[in-house]
Amino acid sequence: MTYKSAHEEVHFINRSGWLRAAVLGANDGIVSVASLIVGVASAEPSARAILIAGAAGLAAGAMSMAAGEYVSVSSQSDIERADIGRERAALQEMPQEEEAELASLLEGRGMSAATAAQAAREMSEKDALRAHVREELGLSEENGARPLQAALASGATFSVAAAVPVLASVLAPATQVIPVVVVVTLIALAGLGALGAHAGGAPKLRAAVRVVVWGAAAMAVTSAVGLAFGVAV
């Protein structure tokens, strides 16, 4: 007989891969391009120079984020596949030793020796490789590396988020570019932090404060550089 619980908890771990890349891309898009615009504007160049700097930062940053995510997550995927290959070979060469290892892992998680041995035997009979990949390597379909998904999420969210300070600088009065960009960016960062926390089922206020504080710090540093040297940074 198959039993099914009437209570099923909602978890968000299956979102961790693309959500991490999306939040990273969006946060980097807003902060880096806004900081670039503020730094350039602090040196008092023309509106044209500010727009060029913002647009160039958006394009370069989006491609850099997408490429970086793809390369990084691909490396992680390569390591995962290599470990799974080694586990597959070990199961073929010494299945009994691997079953004993699985039982030891289960026992270490709180099962009695007899229960762990029985569970390991039943799991091995059903799908030994999957059991070892999950219990020994800590990998599953939900948290496996997906390079293309990470690259697309990061690049797309960077572009959308970076467009916010660029548009703010274009629409702002010529003498108010810095305060307008700073205010709009901080509001966008707060919203981004809350949105990311909501998507991941985490506390919103703490996430919003975290991204706002670091975003403000980044803009302050680049503004100081622009004021100190009087050059675009």
Determine the pLDDT at residue 15: 47
> What's the average model confidence in pLDDT over 168-189?
90
Question: Per mean pLDDT, which range of 42-51, 158-167, 192-201 is the poorest?
Answer: 192-201
The answer to whether the Cα torsion of 39, 43, 46, 49 is positive or negative is: negative
Query: What proportion of the chain, given as a percentage, has pLDDT over 70?
Result: 85
Domains in the chain: boundaries: 14-86+147-231
If we measure between CA atoms, which residue out of 59, 68, 27, 56 comes closest to residue 151?
68
If we measure between CA atoms, which residue out of 38, 63, 22, 27 comes closest to residue 162?
27
pLDDT in tens, 203-230: 888 888 888 898 888 888 877 877 776 6
Residue 166 has pLDDT above 90, yes or no: yes
| Mean confidence (pLDDT) of the chain | 81
Residue 11 has pLDDT above 70, yes or no: no
Which are the contacts of 46, defined by CB distance < 8 A and separation ≥ 6? none
Retrieve residue 77's tokens.
């995927």
If we measure between CA atoms, which residue out of 64, 57, 65, 23 comes closest to residue 166?
57
Determine the pLDDT at residue 168: 93
Residue 164 has pLDDT above 90, yes or no: yes
pLDDT in tens, 86-143: 888 988 888 888 888 888 888 888 888 889 889 888 888 888 888 888 888 777 665 6
Residue 233 has pLDDT above 50, yes or no: no
